[in-house]
Amino acid sequence: MPARRPRPRRRARREARDRGPGLAVPRVFSVAGVDPYAAVAWRRRNARIDDAEGRPVFEQRGVEAPASWSDQAVDLVASRYFAGRLGTAARERSVRALVARVVGTVAGWVRAGGVLAGAGDAAAFEAELASLLLQQRASFNSPVWFNVGVEPQPQCSACFILGVEDHLPSILELATVEGRVFSRGSGAGSNFSALRASSEPTRTGGLAAGPVAFLRGLDALAGAVKSGGRTRRAAKMAILDADHPDVLAFVESKAIEEARARALAAAGLDRLDGAHGPSVAFQNENHSVRLPDAFLRAVARDGAWTLRPRTAAGRPTKVRARDLLRAAARAAHDCGDPGVQFADTIERWNPVPVTGPIRATNPCAEFVFLDDTACNLASINVLAFRDPVRGVDVDRLAAAVRVLTIAMETLVGHASYPTPRIADRSARLRPLGLGVTNLGALLLSLGLPYDGDAGRALAAGVMALVGGEATRTSARLAARLGPFDAWAANRAPALAVLGRHVRAAHRLDRRLVPAALRAAAVEAWDDAAARAAADGLRNAQVTAIAPTGTISFLMDCDTTGVEPALALRQEKSLTEGGVLRLVLRCLPAALEALGYDAATAAGVLAHVDATGGVDGAPGLAPDHADVFRTALPTRPGGPALPARAHLAMMAALQPFVSGAISKTVNLPADATVEDVEATFLEAWRLGLKAVAVYRDRSKVTQPLAPAAPPVCTASSGCD
């Protein structure tokens, strides 16, 4: 059974509440005396999802949803998040009921926790949170929608990091815990470097199986367990340190399976979901190799690298560092895996090193934290805060951050966890993962190139404000409820990490970041640091940028996470057959921001609808073409964003993120192995914590392609 959350003693809670005043919640998105649900126009429609042959795989008639929501958003919410068995009276039938279930439960917990200043603030908090969700300005991660209000102590975290030791009971326990995590709609990651290599003996004299063999079995389990008990597969991350003797077999493992998939496809055989199960392994599992600075310096000087056995019976061996990195780059070139994680960069940003080192991440590598910890996520749709003059509405964005941080912190203490150790560490460290989505669409709507100094500066300012305001709110919560339990032991390193965030905020470019945005971000970080020095922080981490696949579609986003637009034109299959082509919703705003009149804009939009791109669009100024550049080319051989554009955007945001950034560096089909290797090295030089690449058409089955809407992948357990 899942472990219950630790219950603090009443005296300790009372003393914590006496430390400081309750938090006030001003109304920004709601109006006092007006029911936020009544402020929304509602209509009923039929939700349906078809398979590739046009046959319905899900259908629910008469679903009530906000009139402003797209059919795609309604289809997704009804199929993924409505509670109750389909076709029964217990089945939810309305987005109103879904939001009320989640918001009402969370608001009740906030009231009971004594977080807010008074009854008026509690009512405002509930209305503000409901309004944010109904207006598609923000969303919780999927497990909250699955479980809150359904179970007394629901699993609320999307992200888990699970430790594993070098003995069979630990590995089998990991399988059990992963099954619990996956069945509640979440994903998990583990570092398998403690396991002895396949060249090392077991205690009984034979040779060990090695990490890759166990990973194969764990991947099969993940494929069998449906995430959240619904339809999508579970998601997991496997990590191996660069000094493990089996590291070469690990980095090549998924590329070998991709070659198998190609052979099966060429033979006309089912490679993934045949009647007897999948024929290709590692389809539910992301792989990453963990690289320390010493390894990367050895690559730079073309030096040797030592692989170290995990038992006394093994012998160290030396390999050429460049050969190992080249093998990882070659495998990633062939199939997208492995990604790389930069061990020393991650540890330099560890706010709780006294409690333990950071060795692993969640499946999508945005939750970067200690073993046996969990993190609940939420994402803000930044396009919903667009301001044509200031870039974003600073006051409204800050208000949204405050409400969401309070809600997410409350979830930590009322959730269930799959093991007592995770429950204890979650209570002691209380990490959160507030992030952003639709960033690419925000920049496009303002007429800013994704690969440009002005766009990166605005994006950095947005994330600086989100990170600073979330950290300040965590400090205010600490004054009210007390800091996280491990604060005292980690105070010095935590404040040192906070100081690095503060200095990064002061370095925001005055010339390019809108003045109001920069001032608000700097003030938030300065105040957060002062409050933390006095009262501590309630949460060891507060921000992480997830890929947000599913919840971005719930919010009708054009782009996910901090990705650029994949393509300017999307295609949607119609229930009655055929295909409807849709240009990105933000394109009209982009053309208006660039100064085009209605007639010219209509011509450009018609050209995009017909061709998928802006090349040759009538009336489009040549120097505006870069604004519409997408992650993948809109025509064979056409221009696309280079790898450096993705890396530069990540580097602009990373100093304001507690965790990391889950983002794919897209490479064209003709990219070389050397291009992949250069991308890994540049990511390290730029100070990123982790990076993954994907070369167009490198996999037999590719979910993302130009002229097609992004769909959820095996990694969508991260949202």
| Pair (228, 315) in one structural domain | yes
Pairing label, strands 285-291, 304-307:
unpaired
C-alpha distance from residue 553 to each of 366, 543, 560, 572 (Å) = 19, 21, 8, 13
Question: For residue 320, what is the enclosing H or E element?
Answer: strand 317-320
127 and 168 both lie in a single domain: no
pLDDT the model gives residue 416: 95
Residue 233 has pLDDT above 90, yes or no: no
Same domain, yes or no: 167 and 279: yes
Helices and strands (H, E) in the chain, number of each type = 22, 20
364 is catalytic: yes
Q: pTM of this prediction? A: 0.93
Strand-pair category, 664-667 with 690-695: parallel
Q: How far is the C-alpha of 375 from the C-alpha of 372, rounded, in Å?
A: 11
- Whether residues 281 and 329 share a domain: the answer is yes
Give the tokens for residue 11: 């005296």
Mean pLDDT taken over the chain: 91
What integer pLDDT is reported at residue 633 of this predicted model?
85
Instruction: Report the percent of the chain where pLDDT is more than 90.
Output: 79
Assess whether pLDDT exceeds 50 at residue 248: yes
DSSP 248-275: HHHHHHHHHHHHHHHHHHHTT---SSBT
Catalytic-labelled residue, pool 335, 364, 557, 712: 364
Residue 257 has φ and ψ, to the nearest 5°, of -65, -35
362, 376, 381, 666: the active-site residue? 362
C-alpha distances out from residue 321 to 49, 194, 564, Å: 49, 21, 33
- How far apart are alpha carbons 292 and 266 in whole angstroms? 40
Residue 51 belongs to some domain of the structure: yes
pLDDT of residue 226: 65
Under a CB-based contact definition with an 8 Å cutoff, are residues 442 and 388 in contact? Answer: no
What residue numbers bound the domain in which 89 lies? 42-136
Looking at the structure, tell me whether residues 173 and 63 fall in a common domain.
no
pLDDT at 223: 83
The set of long-range contacts for 497-503, using a CB threshold of 8 Å and a minimum separation of 24, is 497/349, 497/350, 497/351, 498/351, 498/471, 498/528, 498/529, 498/532, 498/537, 499/529, 500/349, 500/655, 501/467, 501/468, 501/471, 501/525, 501/655, 501/656, 502/526, 502/528, 502/529
In this structure, the answer to whether residues 228 and 81 fall within a common structural domain is no
Same domain assignment for residues 210 and 107: no
- Name 88's Cβ contacts closer than 8 Å, sequence gap at least 6: none
Per residue in 611-627, pLDDT (tens digit) is 999 999 999 999 999 99
Identify whether 467 is part of a domain. no
CA distance 341 to 357: 14
Neighbours of 195 (CB within 10 A): 26
Residue that terminates a domain, selected from 323, 348, 373 = 348
Q: Which of 337, 334, 364 is nearest to 699 (CA)?
A: 334
Do 200 and 313 touch, CB atoms closer than 8 A? yes
User: Which one from 200, 252, 366, 563 is the annotated catalytic residue?
Assistant: 366
Q: Specify whether 165 is located in the same domain as 132.
A: no
What is d(CA 475, CA 632) in angstroms, rounded to the nearest whole number?
42
pLDDT of residue 591: 98
Q: How confident is the model at residue 229 (pLDDT cuts 50, 70, 90)?
A: low
Q: What is the pLDDT of residues 341-381, one digit of tens each?
A: 999 999 999 999 999 999 999 999 999 999 999 999 999 99
Could you give the CA distance from residue 714 to residue 188 in angstroms, rounded to a whole number?
A: 12
Q: Encoding tokens for residue 59?
A: 């259908």
DSSP string, 356-415: ----EE-TTS--EE-SSEEEEEEEEEGGGGEETTTEE-HHHHHHHHHHHHHHHHHHHHH-
CATH number reported for the structural domain that contains residue 248 in this entry:
3.20.70.20
Last residue of a domain, one of 102, 136, 170: 136
Domain boundary among 301, 321, 348: 348
Residue 54 falls within a domain, yes or no?
yes
Between these two residues, 275 and 297, which has the higher pLDDT value? 297
Q: Contact at 8 Å (CB) between 183 and 363?
A: no
Tokens of 118: 């008074």
Query: Which sign, positive or negative, has the C-alpha torsion 264, 268, 269, 273?
Result: positive
pLDDT tens string 43-74: 999 999 887 777 888 999 999 999 999 999 99
What does the pLDDT look like over 627-641, one tens digit per residue?
999 998 887 778 899
pLDDT at 637: 74
Looking at the fold, whether 259 and 178 belong to one and the same domain comes out as: yes
Percent of the chain at pLDDT above 70?
91
Residues 276 and 170 in one domain: yes
Please report the sign of the dihedral spanned by the C-alpha atoms of residue 522, residue 528, residue 533, residue 539. Answer: negative
Does 529 fall in a domain?
Answer: no
At 30, list the tokens: 């709601």
Is the pLDDT at 478 greater than 50, yes or no?
Answer: yes
Contacts of 321 (CB under 8 A, 6+ apart): 295, 298, 299, 302, 303, 304, 305
Q: Say if 196 falls within a structural domain.
A: yes
Note the pLDDT tens digit of each residue in 429-458.
999 999 999 999 999 999 999 999 999 999
pLDDT at 11: 42
Looking at the fold, whether 169 and 126 belong to one and the same domain comes out as no
- Mean pLDDT over 586-595 rounds to 97
Residues 6+ apart with CB under 8 A from 240: 191, 192, 193, 211, 246, 247, 250, 251, 287, 289, 290
Any domain includes 501: no
Mean per-residue pLDDT, 133-142: 97
What's the pLDDT band for 714 if we cut at 50, 70, 90? Answer: very low
Tens of pLDDT, residue by residue over 188-203, are 999 999 999 999 998 8
Q: Is residue 716 classed as helix, strand or coil in its secondary structure? A: helix
111 is a domain residue: yes
Please compute the mean of the pLDDT values over residues 4-24 and round it to a whole number: 57
pLDDT tens profile 375-417: 999 999 999 999 998 999 999 999 999 999 999 999 999 999 9
In terms of domains, do 312 and 232 share one? Answer: yes
Instruction: Work out how many domains the chain is built from and give that number.
Output: 2
pLDDT band at 243 (very low <50, low <70, confident <90, very high): very high
pLDDT the model gives residue 278: 61
Average pLDDT over residues 71-88: 94
Q: Is residue 362 part of a domain?
A: no
What's the whole-number mean pLDDT along residues 304-319? 95
Contact in structure between 682 and 644 (CB atoms under 8 Å) = yes
Identify the three-state secondary structure at position 602: helix
Peptide bond into 710 cis (omega under 30): no
Pair type for strands 187-191 and 159-161: parallel
